[in-house]
Amino acid sequence: MRRIGVLTSGGDSPGMNAAIRSAVRCGVEAGMEMYAIERGYEGLIDGEINRIGYRDVGDILHRGGTIIKSARSLRFMTEEGIDKAMNVLETFGIEGLIVIGGDGSLTGGLELSKRGITVMGLPGTIDNDLGYTDYTIGFDTAVSTVLDAITKLRDTSSAHERTTVIEVMGRNCGDIALISGLAGGAQAALVPEVKEDINEICKRIVMSANSGKQHSIVIRAEGYEMSSEEVVQAIAKKTGRETKLVILSYLQRGGSPTMGDRVLATTTAAKAIDLLVDGSQSKAIGIVDNKIVAYDLADALKQKREFDMDKYRLIELLGK
Protein backbone atom coordinates (compact mmCIF):
# COMPACT_ATOMS: atom_id res chain seq x y z
CA MET A 1 0.00 0.00 0.00
CA ARG A 2 1.61 3.27 -1.10
CA ARG A 3 -0.97 6.03 -0.98
CA ILE A 4 -2.46 6.93 2.38
CA GLY A 5 -4.98 9.69 3.14
CA VAL A 6 -5.29 11.49 6.48
CA LEU A 7 -8.41 13.31 7.61
CA THR A 8 -9.77 14.92 10.78
CA SER A 9 -13.52 14.85 11.29
CA GLY A 10 -16.20 16.00 13.75
CA GLY A 11 -15.47 18.40 16.62
CA ASP A 12 -11.78 19.31 16.62
CA SER A 13 -9.67 18.36 19.62
CA PRO A 14 -6.26 19.48 20.87
CA GLY A 15 -3.70 16.94 19.66
CA MET A 16 -5.16 16.41 16.21
CA ASN A 17 -2.22 18.29 14.70
CA ALA A 18 0.23 16.16 16.65
CA ALA A 19 -1.47 13.07 15.19
CA ILE A 20 -1.31 14.48 11.64
CA ARG A 21 2.39 15.27 12.06
CA SER A 22 3.20 11.81 13.34
CA ALA A 23 1.13 10.02 10.68
CA VAL A 24 2.64 12.04 7.82
CA ARG A 25 6.23 11.77 9.02
CA CYS A 26 6.04 8.07 9.94
CA GLY A 27 4.30 7.39 6.61
CA VAL A 28 6.96 9.23 4.60
CA GLU A 29 9.70 7.40 6.52
CA ALA A 30 7.99 4.10 5.64
CA GLY A 31 8.07 5.01 1.93
CA MET A 32 4.39 5.94 1.58
CA GLU A 33 2.85 8.83 -0.33
CA MET A 34 0.78 10.80 2.15
CA TYR A 35 -2.31 12.83 1.23
CA ALA A 36 -4.12 15.42 3.34
CA ILE A 37 -7.89 15.35 2.95
CA GLU A 38 -9.36 18.75 3.88
CA ARG A 39 -12.53 19.26 5.98
CA GLY A 40 -13.05 15.62 6.89
CA TYR A 41 -15.55 13.61 4.86
CA GLU A 42 -16.82 16.80 3.20
CA GLY A 43 -13.46 17.34 1.54
CA LEU A 44 -13.23 13.65 0.71
CA ILE A 45 -16.51 13.78 -1.20
CA ASP A 46 -15.39 16.97 -2.99
CA GLY A 47 -11.90 15.69 -3.78
CA GLU A 48 -10.10 18.35 -1.71
CA ILE A 49 -6.97 16.26 -1.45
CA ASN A 50 -3.34 17.34 -1.60
CA ARG A 51 -0.04 15.55 -1.28
CA ILE A 52 1.54 16.36 2.09
CA GLY A 53 5.20 15.92 2.96
CA TYR A 54 7.52 15.75 5.92
CA ARG A 55 8.24 19.52 6.06
CA ASP A 56 4.56 20.48 5.61
CA VAL A 57 3.76 19.31 9.12
CA GLY A 58 6.52 21.28 10.83
CA ASP A 59 5.70 23.59 13.73
CA ILE A 60 2.22 22.17 14.36
CA LEU A 61 2.86 19.71 17.21
CA HIS A 62 1.99 22.30 19.84
CA ARG A 63 -1.00 23.84 18.07
CA GLY A 64 -4.68 23.20 18.82
CA GLY A 65 -7.27 22.85 16.03
CA THR A 66 -6.34 20.95 12.89
CA ILE A 67 -4.34 22.31 9.95
CA ILE A 68 -6.40 20.20 7.54
CA LYS A 69 -9.73 21.50 8.96
CA SER A 70 -12.63 19.48 10.29
CA ALA A 71 -16.34 19.26 9.54
CA ARG A 72 -19.45 17.28 10.36
CA SER A 73 -20.62 15.86 7.04
CA LEU A 74 -24.31 15.18 6.54
CA ARG A 75 -23.64 14.14 2.94
CA PHE A 76 -21.36 11.33 4.08
CA MET A 77 -24.29 9.84 6.01
CA THR A 78 -25.99 8.97 2.72
CA GLU A 79 -25.24 6.08 0.32
CA GLU A 80 -24.71 8.64 -2.43
CA GLY A 81 -22.11 10.52 -0.37
CA ILE A 82 -20.23 7.35 0.50
CA ASP A 83 -20.24 6.26 -3.16
CA LYS A 84 -18.83 9.65 -4.18
CA ALA A 85 -16.12 9.36 -1.52
CA MET A 86 -15.21 5.88 -2.81
CA ASN A 87 -14.92 7.23 -6.38
CA VAL A 88 -12.62 10.01 -5.20
CA LEU A 89 -10.41 7.55 -3.31
CA GLU A 90 -10.21 5.36 -6.40
CA THR A 91 -9.32 8.36 -8.62
CA PHE A 92 -6.48 9.34 -6.29
CA GLY A 93 -5.37 5.72 -5.88
CA ILE A 94 -5.69 5.98 -2.09
CA GLU A 95 -6.03 2.53 -0.49
CA GLY A 96 -5.54 3.40 3.15
CA LEU A 97 -7.03 6.10 5.37
CA ILE A 98 -6.16 7.44 8.79
CA VAL A 99 -9.32 8.90 10.31
CA ILE A 100 -8.86 11.10 13.39
CA GLY A 101 -12.18 11.79 15.12
CA GLY A 102 -14.85 10.60 17.52
CA ASP A 103 -17.53 7.94 17.41
CA GLY A 104 -19.36 9.27 14.33
CA SER A 105 -16.13 9.80 12.41
CA LEU A 106 -14.83 6.30 13.10
CA THR A 107 -18.27 4.87 12.23
CA GLY A 108 -17.92 6.71 8.90
CA GLY A 109 -14.54 5.05 8.48
CA LEU A 110 -16.16 1.67 9.08
CA GLU A 111 -18.47 2.27 6.10
CA LEU A 112 -15.45 2.85 3.86
CA SER A 113 -13.69 -0.20 5.25
CA LYS A 114 -16.74 -2.34 4.34
CA ARG A 115 -16.17 -1.15 0.76
CA GLY A 116 -12.51 -2.20 0.67
CA ILE A 117 -10.53 0.74 2.06
CA THR A 118 -8.22 -0.02 4.99
CA VAL A 119 -9.11 2.46 7.73
CA MET A 120 -7.08 3.18 10.84
CA GLY A 121 -9.19 5.10 13.38
CA LEU A 122 -7.57 7.37 15.96
CA PRO A 123 -9.75 8.58 18.87
CA GLY A 124 -9.79 12.35 18.35
CA THR A 125 -12.40 13.97 20.60
CA ILE A 126 -12.44 15.90 23.86
CA ASP A 127 -15.45 13.84 25.03
CA ASN A 128 -13.63 10.64 26.11
CA ASP A 129 -16.74 8.74 25.06
CA LEU A 130 -15.23 5.81 23.13
CA GLY A 131 -15.56 2.46 24.87
CA TYR A 132 -12.44 0.78 23.48
CA THR A 133 -9.86 3.25 24.78
CA ASP A 134 -9.12 4.62 28.25
CA TYR A 135 -8.44 8.09 26.83
CA THR A 136 -9.17 10.03 23.67
CA ILE A 137 -6.91 12.64 22.08
CA GLY A 138 -7.91 16.06 23.45
CA PHE A 139 -9.60 14.96 26.67
CA ASP A 140 -6.60 15.72 28.87
CA THR A 141 -6.24 19.23 27.43
CA ALA A 142 -9.97 19.93 27.74
CA VAL A 143 -9.94 18.88 31.40
CA SER A 144 -6.87 21.10 32.00
CA THR A 145 -8.79 24.02 30.51
CA VAL A 146 -11.75 23.30 32.80
CA LEU A 147 -9.41 23.09 35.79
CA ASP A 148 -7.92 26.46 34.93
CA ALA A 149 -11.45 27.90 34.86
CA ILE A 150 -12.37 26.23 38.17
CA THR A 151 -9.29 27.74 39.84
CA LYS A 152 -10.28 31.22 38.70
CA LEU A 153 -13.98 30.81 39.48
CA ARG A 154 -13.12 29.45 42.92
CA ASP A 155 -11.50 32.80 43.80
CA THR A 156 -14.53 34.88 42.95
CA SER A 157 -17.09 32.32 44.22
CA SER A 158 -15.33 32.26 47.54
CA ALA A 159 -15.03 36.08 47.73
CA HIS A 160 -18.79 36.40 47.22
CA GLU A 161 -19.80 33.20 49.06
CA ARG A 162 -21.67 31.95 46.03
CA THR A 163 -22.42 28.70 44.31
CA THR A 164 -21.07 28.52 40.76
CA VAL A 165 -22.44 25.99 38.30
CA ILE A 166 -19.96 25.32 35.50
CA GLU A 167 -21.31 23.69 32.35
CA VAL A 168 -18.81 21.52 30.50
CA MET A 169 -18.99 19.63 27.20
CA GLY A 170 -18.91 15.89 26.64
CA ARG A 171 -22.08 15.14 24.69
CA ASN A 172 -23.61 12.04 26.37
CA CYS A 173 -20.50 11.27 28.36
CA GLY A 174 -19.82 12.68 31.83
CA ASP A 175 -16.05 12.14 31.85
CA ILE A 176 -15.00 15.79 31.44
CA ALA A 177 -17.30 16.69 34.37
CA LEU A 178 -16.16 13.69 36.42
CA ILE A 179 -12.42 14.20 36.10
CA SER A 180 -12.45 17.98 36.30
CA GLY A 181 -14.82 17.72 39.28
CA LEU A 182 -12.48 15.33 41.04
CA ALA A 183 -9.27 17.19 40.22
CA GLY A 184 -10.85 20.59 40.80
CA GLY A 185 -12.43 19.78 44.18
CA ALA A 186 -16.02 20.36 43.10
CA GLN A 187 -18.91 19.83 45.51
CA ALA A 188 -20.74 17.75 42.93
CA ALA A 189 -20.60 16.62 39.31
CA LEU A 190 -23.90 16.23 37.46
CA VAL A 191 -23.48 13.67 34.69
CA PRO A 192 -25.78 11.85 32.26
CA GLU A 193 -24.69 8.44 33.57
CA VAL A 194 -26.05 8.98 37.11
CA LYS A 195 -29.59 9.88 38.16
CA GLU A 196 -28.86 12.39 40.89
CA ASP A 197 -31.65 14.06 42.82
CA ILE A 198 -31.02 17.82 42.71
CA ASN A 199 -32.61 18.12 46.19
CA GLU A 200 -29.80 15.98 47.57
CA ILE A 201 -27.20 18.26 46.00
CA CYS A 202 -28.95 21.28 47.52
CA LYS A 203 -29.03 19.60 50.94
CA ARG A 204 -25.30 18.97 50.66
CA ILE A 205 -24.63 22.61 49.72
CA VAL A 206 -26.61 23.86 52.75
CA MET A 207 -24.91 21.41 55.13
CA SER A 208 -21.49 22.41 53.81
CA ALA A 209 -22.31 26.10 54.18
CA ASN A 210 -23.49 25.48 57.74
CA SER A 211 -20.23 23.75 58.54
CA GLY A 212 -18.20 26.72 57.27
CA LYS A 213 -17.69 26.08 53.56
CA GLN A 214 -17.68 29.50 51.90
CA HIS A 215 -18.63 28.58 48.37
CA SER A 216 -19.53 25.66 46.13
CA ILE A 217 -18.55 24.60 42.65
CA VAL A 218 -20.96 22.30 40.83
CA ILE A 219 -19.91 20.88 37.46
CA ARG A 220 -22.76 20.05 35.09
CA ALA A 221 -22.02 17.90 32.05
CA GLU A 222 -23.98 19.13 29.03
CA GLY A 223 -25.73 15.75 28.73
CA TYR A 224 -27.18 15.84 32.29
CA GLU A 225 -30.96 15.49 32.37
CA MET A 226 -31.72 18.99 33.74
CA SER A 227 -30.58 22.05 31.80
CA SER A 228 -27.96 24.35 33.36
CA GLU A 229 -30.58 27.05 33.85
CA GLU A 230 -32.86 24.59 35.67
CA VAL A 231 -29.99 23.47 37.88
CA VAL A 232 -29.08 27.07 38.78
CA GLN A 233 -32.70 27.95 39.54
CA ALA A 234 -33.20 24.88 41.69
CA ILE A 235 -30.01 25.47 43.69
CA ALA A 236 -30.73 29.18 44.18
CA LYS A 237 -34.30 28.48 45.30
CA LYS A 238 -33.61 25.52 47.56
CA THR A 239 -30.40 26.74 49.20
CA GLY A 240 -31.24 30.45 49.32
CA ARG A 241 -27.67 31.15 48.16
CA GLU A 242 -26.64 33.27 45.22
CA THR A 243 -25.93 30.94 42.31
CA LYS A 244 -24.18 31.82 39.03
CA LEU A 245 -23.80 29.93 35.77
CA VAL A 246 -20.64 29.75 33.65
CA ILE A 247 -20.74 27.89 30.34
CA LEU A 248 -17.24 27.01 29.15
CA SER A 249 -18.39 25.86 25.71
CA TYR A 250 -15.82 25.92 22.85
CA LEU A 251 -13.01 27.16 25.08
CA GLN A 252 -12.61 23.48 25.94
CA ARG A 253 -11.83 22.53 22.35
CA GLY A 254 -8.94 24.95 21.83
CA GLY A 255 -5.44 25.46 23.14
CA SER A 256 -2.06 23.84 22.98
CA PRO A 257 -2.29 20.10 23.71
CA THR A 258 -0.92 18.81 27.00
CA MET A 259 2.00 16.40 27.17
CA GLY A 260 -0.48 13.53 27.56
CA ASP A 261 -2.42 14.43 24.43
CA ARG A 262 0.72 15.01 22.35
CA VAL A 263 2.14 11.63 23.32
CA LEU A 264 -1.18 9.82 22.81
CA ALA A 265 -1.64 11.43 19.39
CA THR A 266 1.94 10.79 18.31
CA THR A 267 2.08 7.15 19.40
CA THR A 268 -1.36 6.14 18.12
CA ALA A 269 -0.61 7.69 14.70
CA ALA A 270 2.75 5.91 14.54
CA LYS A 271 0.94 2.66 15.36
CA ALA A 272 -1.51 3.31 12.52
CA ILE A 273 1.36 3.54 10.03
CA ASP A 274 3.02 0.40 11.45
CA LEU A 275 -0.24 -1.49 10.96
CA LEU A 276 -0.63 -0.22 7.39
CA VAL A 277 2.96 -1.25 6.61
CA ASP A 278 2.17 -4.73 7.99
CA GLY A 279 -0.90 -5.01 5.72
CA SER A 280 -3.34 -5.10 8.64
CA GLN A 281 -7.13 -4.97 8.35
CA SER A 282 -8.98 -1.86 9.53
CA LYS A 283 -8.40 -1.06 13.21
CA ALA A 284 -9.31 1.40 15.94
CA ILE A 285 -6.23 2.44 17.89
CA GLY A 286 -6.23 3.65 21.47
CA ILE A 287 -4.65 3.24 24.87
CA VAL A 288 -5.58 0.71 27.56
CA ASP A 289 -3.67 0.37 30.85
CA ASN A 290 -1.04 2.72 29.43
CA LYS A 291 -0.34 0.52 26.39
CA ILE A 292 -1.18 1.37 22.79
CA VAL A 293 -3.80 -1.10 21.52
CA ALA A 294 -5.43 -1.79 18.16
CA TYR A 295 -8.78 -3.56 17.86
CA ASP A 296 -10.85 -4.60 14.89
CA LEU A 297 -12.65 -1.39 13.91
CA ALA A 298 -16.19 -2.82 13.99
CA ASP A 299 -15.63 -4.60 17.33
CA ALA A 300 -14.06 -1.52 18.92
CA LEU A 301 -17.04 0.65 18.04
CA LYS A 302 -19.41 -1.81 19.73
CA GLN A 303 -17.62 -1.50 23.08
CA LYS A 304 -19.60 0.43 25.68
CA ARG A 305 -17.84 2.91 27.91
CA GLU A 306 -17.97 2.16 31.63
CA PHE A 307 -18.55 5.09 33.93
CA ASP A 308 -16.20 5.26 36.92
CA MET A 309 -18.56 5.31 39.93
CA ASP A 310 -15.68 5.15 42.42
CA LYS A 311 -14.37 8.51 41.25
CA TYR A 312 -17.92 9.89 41.24
CA ARG A 313 -18.43 8.92 44.90
CA LEU A 314 -15.04 10.34 45.80
CA ILE A 315 -16.12 13.78 44.60
CA GLU A 316 -19.03 13.65 47.05
CA LEU A 317 -16.84 12.41 49.89
CA LEU A 318 -14.19 15.07 49.42
CA GLY A 319 -16.41 18.00 48.50
CA LYS A 320 -18.54 18.19 51.63
Which residue of 5, 81, 123, 170 would you call a contact of ligand F6P, by CB under 6 A?
A: 170
Site for ligand F6P in 87-126 (CB under 6 A): 102, 125-126
In angstroms, what is the minimal distance from the CB of 72 to ligand F6P? Answer: 6
Mark the segment that binds ligand F6P (CB under 6 A) among 150-158, 169-177, 204-212, 286-294: 169-177
Among 122, 169, 186, 232, binds ligand F6P (CB under 6 A): 169
- Residue 141, CB half-sphere, CA atoms under 13 Å: how many? 31
Catalytic residues, by residue number, are 127
| Separation of alpha carbons 229 and 231, rounded Å | 5
Indicate the pairing of strand 291-296 with strand 216-221: unpaired
Strands of 216-221's sheet in order across = 188-190, 216-221, 163-168, 243-247
Pick 53 or 104: Cβ nearer ligand F6P: 104
Residue closer to ligand F6P by CB (options 54, 250) is 250
Cross-strand pairs, 50: 36
Nearer to ligand F6P, 105 or 163 (CB): 105
Label residues 42-75 b or e (16+ Cβ within 10 Å = b): bbbbbebbeebeeebbeebbebbbbbbbbbbbeb
Applying the rule CB under 6 A, the residues between 53 and 92 that interact with ligand F6P are: 72
- Least distance to ligand F6P from the beta carbon of 15, Å? 13
Q: Which stretch binds ligand F6P (CB under 6 A): 20-28, 165-173, 233-241, 308-316?
A: 165-173
Q: Whats the size of the chain, residue-wise?
A: 320
Least distance CB 67 / ligand F6P (angstroms): 18
25 vs 253, which CB is nearer to ligand F6P? 253
CA-to-CA separations, 85 to 37, 44, 55, 97, 301, in angstroms, rounded: 11, 6, 27, 12, 21
The binder of ligand F6P chosen from 42, 111, 127, 140 (CB under 6 A): 127
The residue range among 149-157, 168-176, 187-195, 225-233 that interacts with ligand F6P, by the rule CB under 6 A, is 168-176
**According to CB under 6 A, which one of 6, 9, 11, 94 is a site residue for ligand F6P?**
11
**Partners of residue 216 on adjacent β-strands:** 163
Residue 228 interacts with ligand F6P (CB under 6 A)?
no
From 184, 242, 186, 182, select the one nearest 217 (Cα to Cα). 186
Contact string (CB under 6 A) for ligand F6P, positions 230-269, x = contact: -----------------------x----------------
Stretch near ligand F6P under the rule CB under 6 A, chosen from 32-40, 166-174, 185-193, 273-281: 166-174
Q: Does 162 bind ligand F6P (CB under 6 A)?
A: no
Establish if 171 lies at the interface with ligand F6P (CB under 6 A).
Answer: yes
Q: Which residues are CB-neighbours of 318 under 8 A, at least 6 positions away? A: 182, 185
Which parts of this chain interact with ligand F6P (CB under 6 A)? 11, 72, 102, 125-127, 169-171, 222, 253
